[in-house]
Amino acid sequence: MKAKIISNSCVKGPCYKLLLKPLNPVKSVPGQFLMIRPGASDGPSDPLLPRPFSIHRATTDDHIEVLYKRVGKGTAILASLSAEGELEILGPLGNGFVFDGVAAAKEVVVVAGGIGVAPMLGLVETLRAGYPEKEIRVFLGGRGEVDLLCVEELKAVSTEVILATNDGTMGFKGYVTEALEKHLSQSLITHHSSLVTPIIYACGPSPMLQRISEITEPLRIESYFSLEANMACGIGLCMGCAIRSRDGKGYYLVCTDGPVFRGESVDLSGNPPQSPFNKGGD
Amino acid sequence: MKAKIISNSCVKGPCYKLLLKPLNPVKSVPGQFLMIRPGASDGPSDPLLPRPFSIHRATTDDHIEVLYKRVGKGTAILASLSAEGELEILGPLGNGFVFDGVAAAKEVVVVAGGIGVAPMLGLVETLRAGYPEKEIRVFLGGRGEVDLLCVEELKAVSTEVILATNDGTMGFKGYVTEALEKHLSQSLITHHSSLVTPIIYACGPSPMLQRISEITEPLRIESYFSLEANMACGIGLCMGCAIRSRDGKGYYLVCTDGPVFRGESVDLSGNPPQSPFNKGGD
Amino acid sequence: MKPDLSIEIAGIKLRNPVMLASGTARYGEEISHHCDLNQIGAIIVKGIALKPTPGNPPPRICETPSGMLNAIGLPNIGVDAFIKEKLPFLRQFDTRVLVNIFGSTVEEYGEVAGRLEGVDGVDGLEVNISCPNVKEGGIAFGTDIGITRRVVQTVRRATTLPVIIKLSPNVTDIASFAKVCEEEGADGLSVINTLLGMSIDPKTWRPRLANITGGLSGPAIRPVAIRMVWQVHNAVRIPVIGMGGIVTTEDAVEFFLAGASAVAIGTANFINPKVSLEISEGLERYLESRGLKNITELIGAVKTA
Amino acid sequence: MKPDLSIEIAGIKLRNPVMLASGTARYGEEISHHCDLNQIGAIIVKGIALKPTPGNPPPRICETPSGMLNAIGLPNIGVDAFIKEKLPFLRQFDTRVLVNIFGSTVEEYGEVAGRLEGVDGVDGLEVNISCPNVKEGGIAFGTDIGITRRVVQTVRRATTLPVIIKLSPNVTDIASFAKVCEEEGADGLSVINTLLGMSIDPKTWRPRLANITGGLSGPAIRPVAIRMVWQVHNAVRIPVIGMGGIVTTEDAVEFFLAGASAVAIGTANFINPKVSLEISEGLERYLESRGLKNITELIGAVKTA
Ligand SMILES: Cc1cc2nc3c(=O)[nH]c(=O)nc-3n(C[C@H](O)[C@H](O)[C@H](O)COP(=O)(O)OP(=O)(O)OC[C@H]3O[C@@H](n4cnc5c(N)ncnc54)[C@H](O)[C@@H]3O)c2cc1C
Ligand SMILES: Cc1cc2nc3c(=O)[nH]c(=O)nc-3n(C[C@H](O)[C@H](O)[C@H](O)COP(=O)(O)OP(=O)(O)OC[C@H]3O[C@@H](n4cnc5c(N)ncnc54)[C@H](O)[C@@H]3O)c2cc1C
Ligand SMILES: Cc1cc2nc3c(=O)[nH]c(=O)nc-3n(C[C@H](O)[C@H](O)[C@H](O)COP(=O)(O)O)c2cc1C
Ligand SMILES: Cc1cc2nc3c(=O)[nH]c(=O)nc-3n(C[C@H](O)[C@H](O)[C@H](O)COP(=O)(O)O)c2cc1C
Ligand code: FES
Ligand code: FES
């Protein structure tokens, strides 16, 4: 589907915000994503494939915001596009976040690393609208201050925003997962009950998500991760976006089974599987 | 070398004019060309190769004008570029037009087919400046009115501009070579002397140039053609831009031996050569 | 009158000559939400083996200049589950279904083919011989002419269905493989499967695919595919399904001119899952604009003299 | 201290491991106006045969997605004229000169090699075996393992110069060709030459090259080239010169990681005739930024486990 570019501009460092008006209204839930082809569909064949981007925010007037980081050829082309142009998009795709456990949870904890914040602002806004009284604590991490995005917007809709940077240029100095761990252990001590636990939503680099698993699984905290994988199609055709399932028996497809997964269902270790699955073929 | 895009806009139909300011001044003569890479040099690899474009006009303040027609992927990208951007250019390249025979010639006849007019305006302007008294007759051909470019500019510096279109939407109805033939035969009748002949400069599609050869060679008219060939490098590296020499013994390279050739030195027929030159190799 | 796009290939009548290439449309369901399967010539389903297999660990794909590498590892649900769970969906559509099969031994090819014999909704088999031969050293069946012959013989004996052999491009002389397939009774040839490639990340020093090497597809390989279709078309009389880098109508025309009787769209489905419909409409317009009545007028019509 | 880019390959000491690939820098003169030959590792000149040949009729080249096809037809001025007219120019530069040679018969290879023996300014031979074998049916020397062996034997006997065999990628198993070359005494291997391709103009129905087929080069083929460099590096102990689609420093790094000891830049010279200088500077920065002291630390360092 064609979408008109309403605006496209740098928000901070290498990060841009793209406001799109799709030809037909798109109904989405937080955590879903779009495939966006950089450049015209009958244009040059490099870059070839469309790129996956989270729906950052779906506005009430059927516009879609995408928050993206310029990292390679595709996002470089995106960053060069000017308003009034058009883009080919496909979506909304994927499952989106699940809210079943929110009502019963002690608090909602949202963890985002770097550009991983992209799907999280819409999530927090939706949560706030649905659960006005809920405590929502957002942990935002990055290498430095420049990586921390949407801080004000998040503050407006959450109970607390905790910042962490590796270089200490803003907030807690260290990994965001250290800040998270500290918070969780304190809150467990304070409450003395492990029956009512927080619910966690996270998006960011694999090592961050893995660390969160290590912290939350012993505490039996329900966690949802929005995952990334190389994608060719985004709609279940290519089977390229596999992520190993924790039971070791097979794979999920990030595009259709996800991108949101229960933390304990996926294997983010990157280690080769035990059984010799490898085949040379396509 | 980098060149700044000063302006880039549609002049008529699919034709655009690009005004460039090269980082370093470029000294050129009419008929020389540039290689222009569409897009950034470290950008996507499709389109891959730079494209050859005649220097339409070299301005006195070291700017270069390029007149180009949007025909494929490379020129589509060019057409989309906005002022203030940059392009990678190489040039001036090639030999350019030779003026040795102009002084002795009865008149200068310039023939241009379609976008073949690109190198001809600069040529006529230079000729007019060098030979203020000379009769310069310009024959401009196209399929329809939309293909006739630079008419006013040419009128300003030539004795006469004769227009021809296949569909009769402007000027003589028919091929520009028919108009040329008519003029030449009349002018020969009037002057009764074939010793003082015109000199011809032409640029356009191969069939047009071939037809000019057929008309002018029996009359022993000195003719110069600016030729096109698929080019990869423009500087004599790839040997891709071959044009058969008339003696049948070998090939010229359009980029370094040309792009301007004496009409009788090249074989534009497109027929396979007599001897079996073919080799599978690179 | 509209030009006639229909064609019979390997005994299979197609509404139009545009197919979905194996491995790029799964078993039809996902793509059916984007592309009306009633309007395409045929779907060639993702490779099916005797037993289910989960495929390779990630990363399974990466982009390359005008192409992509994949080492999906042929995940499949197994032939029995395919027949029971996937075929019923496809039977709802008025299109042709070619089942792409593979095996890890020559015998397995025969068994899979046998199971599909007489199954309602299967119009033909496309035999993928580009996968590793587990018993005989792991080299791809399709890069050894003797093994290729045995696979064709085995499948031919196991079925009365039309048999289309999908040739590997990773060979010195593809025409000789084509001839062997014709000799052994293949009804058609698919040309080409992916080129074996590899890519390394200069940041991590790791291969970009967990499987190290993978198959290169997309526009990058089109010139190689066109050359091979032309060579095969000149070597055999059985029809060729051309594929490799088709994105536009013009790309498809190139394949017909080189000698293909039908085309299959692979990687381009990932860019635009409607593209095969657009190409079949584009072919109609292409024929119309040139006053041609039949797609057959294009086949092998390249002017080489 | 700056990292050390120098390397010895096939007995030839190079200032840096970046060469100009054969057929993309002629005999050096044209490119010397854009690229300081004193700063590159080596120039491999355009293919030289015994007798001059004019090459193929036009069109000789066309662009393809992220690549180009060429059928230049190996125009050359003949080995004697090369020595007399072209080498003196190259001798002015402090760089290495590899002469790319070819023949239409096995014997011709030996003769050309013989003429270059002991000639001042020639540092080694690169033997192009991807051209057609006129005596033996016209197939390329480099696609037949027996003929490849004879070419290597013949050249090896004819010269004491370092002999680098340039392998054809249009084969089923490039490693077996590499091994034969090593057995017969080759000092190094160039990997890869162009992939055989074809393109047809859907407007005119004519092949885009007068020669019908041609050689595919450029970024499109890089994944195939990387795979083959890796295969060859794992099969032999003689050094590999990697080429095929290198445009940037990162592309070159990929080749080193796959097992190349040096790289050659081909098609990219047409896009930017200074690119080989930029890549050798880029390699220096790449090593520096990772605290590496020597280019040799990259060779074959891909992490496959
Ligand atoms: C479900 C999902 C949602 C995403 N949401 C966002 C978002 O909201 N904002 C944002 O900035 N980024 C997001 N990403 C990552 C984004 O897709 C990549 O940054 C982008 O594809 C890079 O493209 P490129 O051409 O600039 O980079 P290149 O490195 O040139 O891309 C080369 C190839 O690698 C793939 N690739 C590169 N990086 C990634 C990555 N991190 N994840 C998946 N594929 C990658 C590209 O799609 C492409 O096929 C998301 C990824 C997924 C899977
Ligand atoms: C010496 C010379 C001077 C030229 N001057 C001009 C000029 O002033 N204005 C102008 O509009 N055009 C000029 N041309 C033609 C121009 O180079 C092509 O129109 C342009 O390369 C088309 O590129 P594309 O990517 O849009 O087309 P595509 O068809 O996508 O190009 C594909 C490939 O074919 C080549 N190609 C396509 N058409 C031509 C052609 N007519 N001649 C040579 N190569 C071609 C391209 O360079 C490219 O490599 C000139 C050509 C030459 C050789
Ligand atoms: C992700 C992917 C998966 C594929 N899976 C199969 C497969 O299961 N069986 C098969 O025969 N070919 C498979 N192929 C090869 C395609 O069917 C096709 O032959 C090849 O990709 C070339 O066409 P294209 O360039 O249009 O993609 C696969 C290709 C891709 C890209
Ligand atoms: C126009 C052109 C001419 C070539 N001529 C030769 C040649 O004469 N001898 C040879 O061995 N290789 C020749 N090659 C092959 C290149 O040296 C190189 O192996 C190939 O192009 C792959 O590298 P690239 O992708 O960087 O161009 C030629 C390639 C091109 C593009
Ligand atoms: S991206 Fe193609 S199946 Fe998920
Ligand atoms: S364009 Fe390369 S030699 Fe003329």
pLDDT in the model for residue B41: 67
* B103 assigned to some structural domain: no
Token pair, residue C258, equals: 């080189």
Q: Note down pLDDT in tens along chain D; length 305 residues.
A: 899 999 999 999 999 999 999 999 999 999 999 999 999 999 999 999 999 999 999 999 999 999 999 999 999 999 999 999 999 999 999 999 999 999 999 999 999 999 999 999 999 999 999 988 777 777 899 999 999 999 999 999 999 999 999 999 999 999 999 999 999 999 999 999 999 999 999 999 999 999 999 999 999 999 999 999 999 999 999 999 999 999 999 999 999 999 999 999 999 999 999 999 999 999 999 999 999 999 999 999 999 98
Residues A153, A245: one domain? Answer: yes
Ligand 5 contact via A240 beta carbon (within 6 Å): yes
Residues A143, A56: one domain? Answer: no
- Residue A282 contacts D where some CB pair is shorter than 8 Å: no
CA distances from D142 to B123, D76, D160, D172, D260 (A): 50, 20, 22, 12, 20
The string over B258-269, giving b where at least 16 C-beta atoms fall within 10 Å of a residue's C-beta and e elsewhere, is bbbbebeebbbe
Task: Answer whether A76 sits within 8 Å of B47, measured CB to CB.
Answer: no
Domain count for chain A: 2
Ligand 5 contact via A221 beta carbon (within 6 Å): no
Residues of C in contact with D204 (CB under 8 A): 303
Domain that residue D39 falls in: 7-297
* B183 assigned to some structural domain: yes
Average pLDDT over residues C225-245: 98
Q: Which of B35, B60, B93 is the last residue of a domain?
A: B93
Task: Answer whether B76 sits within 8 Å of A47, measured CB to CB.
Answer: no
* B202 assigned to some structural domain: yes
Task: Answer whether A44 sits within 8 Å of B47, measured CB to CB.
Answer: yes
Residues A53, A120: one domain? Answer: no
Distance CA D119, CA D115 (A): 8
pLDDT in the model for residue A248: 77
Which CATH number belongs to the domain containing residue B40 in this structure?
2.40.30.10
Largest CA distance in chain B: 61
Token pair, residue B216, equals: 């002018």
Residues B181, B251: one domain? Answer: yes
- Residue A76 contacts B where some CB pair is shorter than 8 Å: yes
Q: Which of B93, B128, B159 is the last residue of a domain?
A: B93
Token pair, residue C158, equals: 């196991």
By DSSP bridging, strand C262-265 and strand A172-173 are unpaired
Strand locations in chain A (E): 2-12, 15-22, 33-37, 51-54, 57-58, 64-69, 86-93, 108-113, 136-142, 160-165, 172-173, 199-203, 222-226, 242-244, 251-253, 260-262
Which among A45, B155, B71 is positioned nearest to C64, based on CA atoms?
A45
Q: Distance from CA of residue D178 to its chain's centroid?
A: 15
Q: How far is the CA of A84 from the centre of ligand 2 (A)?
A: 29
* C2 assigned to some structural domain: no
Residues A84, A154: one domain? Answer: no
* D19 assigned to some structural domain: yes
pLDDT in the model for residue B39: 77
Ligand 5 contact via A239 beta carbon (within 6 Å): yes
| 8 A C-beta contact, residue B36 and residue B22 | no
Q: Which residues have a Cβ under 8 Å from the Cβ of D264 and sit 6 or more positions away?
A: D18, D19, D20, D21, D22, D44, D190, D241, D242, D243, D246
Task: Answer whether A45 sits within 8 Å of D65, measured CB to CB.
Answer: yes
Which of D24, D27, D61 has most ligand 4 atoms within 8 Å of CB, for mutation?
A: D24
Average pLDDT, chain C: 96
Q: Number of C-alpha atoms within 13 angstroms, CB side, residue B150?
A: 30
Instruction: Just list the catalytic residues of C.
Output: 131
pLDDT in the model for residue B275: 47
Ligand 5 contact via A242 beta carbon (within 6 Å): no
Domain count for chain D: 1
Catalytic status, residue D35: no
pLDDT in the model for residue B193: 57
Coil, helix or strand for D12?
Answer: strand
Write the residue in C58, C68, C247 that is nearest to A229 by C-beta. C58
Does position B186 have pLDDT exceeding 70, yes or no? yes
pLDDT in the model for residue C122: 98
Q: Could you give the strand order of the β-sheet that contains D61-64, starting from the edge strand earlier in sequence?
A: D61-64, D67-70, D213-217, D195-198
The string over D219-256, giving b where at least 16 C-beta atoms fall within 10 Å of a residue's C-beta and e elsewhere, is bbbbbbbbbbbbbbbebbebbbbbbbbbbbbbbbbbbb
* B276 assigned to some structural domain: no
Radius of gyration of chain D (CA): 18
Does position C206 have pLDDT exceeding 80, yes or no? yes
| 8 A C-beta contact, residue B101 and residue B36 | no
* B274 assigned to some structural domain: no
- Of chain D, the end-to-end C-alpha distance in Å amounts to 32
Find out whether the peptide bond into C58 is cis, omega within 30 degrees of 0: no
Residues B155, B59: one domain? Answer: no
* C304 assigned to some structural domain: no
Dihedral of the alpha carbons of D124, D128, D133, D136, in degrees to the nearest 10:
70
**What are the respective helix, strand and coil percentages of chain D, to the nearest 5?**
35, 20, 45
Burial of A61 (0-12, 13-18, 19+ CB in 10 A): exposed
| Interface probe, candidates B35, B249, B282, chain D, greatest D C-beta count within 10 A | B282
Does position A280 have pLDDT exceeding 60, yes or no? no
The string over C205-223, giving b where at least 16 C-beta atoms fall within 10 Å of a residue's C-beta and e elsewhere, is bbbbbbbbbbbbbbbbbbb
Q: DSSP for D224-237?
A: HHHHHHHHHHHH-S
Residues of C in contact with A231 (CB under 8 A): 61
Q: A218 to chain D, minimum CA–CA distance in Å?
A: 31
CB atoms within 10 A of CB C278: 18
Q: C151 to chain A, minimum CA–CA distance in Å?
A: 17
pLDDT in the model for residue A193: 57
Average pLDDT over residues C236-259: 98
| 8 A C-beta contact, residue A3 and residue A21 | yes
Q: Which residues have a Cβ under 8 Å from the Cβ of D296 and sit 6 or more positions away?
A: D7, D261
pLDDT in the model for residue D60: 96
| 8 A C-beta contact, residue B228 and residue B235 | no
Distance CA B265, CA B224 (A): 10
Backbone angles phi, psi at B131, to 5 degrees: -130, 75
Does position A281 have pLDDT exceeding 90, yes or no? no
Residues of D in contact with A44 (CB under 8 A): 65
pLDDT in the model for residue A178: 94
Summarised one tens digit per residue, pLDDT across range B29-79 is: 999 999 999 977 678 999 999 999 999 999 888 899 999 999 999 999 999
Burial of A64 (0-12, 13-18, 19+ CB in 10 A): buried
Closest ligand 2 atom to the C-alpha of B70?
Answer: 26
Q: Which residues have a Cβ under 8 Å from the Cβ of C260 and sit 6 or more positions away?
A: C191, C229, C233, C240, C241, C242, C299
Q: DSSP secondary-structure letter at D120?
A: T
Task: Answer whether C204 sits within 8 Å of D303, measured CB to CB.
Answer: yes
Closest ligand 6 atom to the C-alpha of B256?
Answer: 4
Distance CA C24, CA D233 (A): 33
Q: What confidence category does residue B281 fall into, taking pLDDT thresholds of 50, 70 and 90?
A: low
Subunits in contact with chain C (3 or more CB pairs closer than 8 Å): A, B, D
Subunits in contact with chain B (3 or more CB pairs closer than 8 Å): A, C, D
Residues B89, B112: one domain? Answer: no
Distance CA A258, CA A32 (A): 9
Q: Number of C-alpha atoms within 13 angstroms, CB side, residue C297?
A: 14
Task: Answer whether B48 sits within 8 Å of D68, measured CB to CB.
Answer: yes
Q: What confidence category does residue A107 fall into, taking pLDDT thresholds of 50, 70 and 90?
A: very high
The string over D108-138, giving b where at least 16 C-beta atoms fall within 10 Å of a residue's C-beta and e elsewhere, is bbbbbbbbbeeeebbbbbbbbbbbbbeeeee
Domain that residue A21 falls in: 2-93
Residues A7, A114: one domain? Answer: no
Closest ligand 3 atom to the C-alpha of C247?
Answer: 26
Ligand 5 contact via A229 beta carbon (within 6 Å): no
Residues A142, A62: one domain? Answer: no
Summarised one tens digit per residue, pLDDT across range C263-284 is: 999 999 999 999 999 999 999 9
CA C210-C215-C220 angle, 5° bins? 125
Residues B177, B240: one domain? Answer: yes
Coil, helix or strand for B181?
Answer: helix
Residues B31, B89: one domain? Answer: yes
Structure ipTM: 0.96
Burial of C111 (0-12, 13-18, 19+ CB in 10 A): middle
pLDDT in the model for residue A267: 94
Q: What confidence category does residue B194 fall into, taking pLDDT thresholds of 50, 70 and 90?
A: low
Backbone angles phi, psi at B189, to 5 degrees: -60, -45
Distance CA D161, CA D123 (A): 7
- Residue B73 contacts A where some CB pair is shorter than 8 Å: yes
Q: Residue B36's closest chain D neighbor by CA? A: D271
* D303 assigned to some structural domain: no
Distance CA A205, CA A228 (A): 8
Residues of B in contact with C219 (CB under 8 A): 46
CB atoms within 10 A of CB C271: 20
Does position B272 have pLDDT exceeding 70, yes or no? no
CB atoms within 10 A of CB A207: 13
Chain D positions contacting chain C at CB under 8 Å are: 64-67, 69, 143, 170-173, 195-200, 202, 204-207, 212-213, 216, 218-224, 226-227, 230, 245, 250, 253-254, 257-258, 286, 301-304
Distance CA A267, CA C54 (A): 15
Distance CA B97, CA B199 (A): 12
User: Could you write out the three-class secondary structure of A158-204?
Assistant: CCEEEEEECCCCCCEECCHHHHHHHHHHHHHHHHCCCCCCCEEEEEC
Q: How far is the CA of A88 from the centre of ligand 4 (A)?
A: 37
Task: Answer whether A76 sits within 8 Å of B43, measured CB to CB.
Answer: yes
| 8 A C-beta contact, residue A261 and residue A243 | yes
Q: Which residues have a Cβ under 8 Å from the Cβ of B2 and sit 6 or more positions away?
A: B22, B23, B86, B87, B88, B89
Closest ligand to the CA of B31: 2
Token pair, residue A240, equals: 């390229």
For CA atoms A179, A180, A183, A186, give the dihedral sign: negative
Distance CA B130, CA B116 (A): 22
Residues A140, A89: one domain? Answer: no
Which CATH number belongs to the domain containing residue C46 in this structure?
3.20.20.70
Token pair, residue D128, equals: 């192009």
Summarised one tens digit per residue, pLDDT across range A159-205 is: 999 999 999 999 999 999 999 999 988 877 665 555 678 999 999 99
Helix H or strand E encompassing D198:
strand D195-198
pLDDT in the model for residue A82: 87
pTM value > 0.95: yes
Distance CA B281, CA B277 (A): 11
* C164 assigned to some structural domain: yes
Ligand 2 contact via B259 beta carbon (within 6 Å): yes
| Interface probe, candidates B42, B73, B86, chain A, greatest A C-beta count within 10 A | B73
Q: What confidence category does residue B276 fall into, taking pLDDT thresholds of 50, 70 and 90?
A: very low
Which of B10, B51, B209, B257 has most ligand 2 atoms within 8 Å of CB, for mutation?
A: B51
pLDDT in the model for residue B189: 64
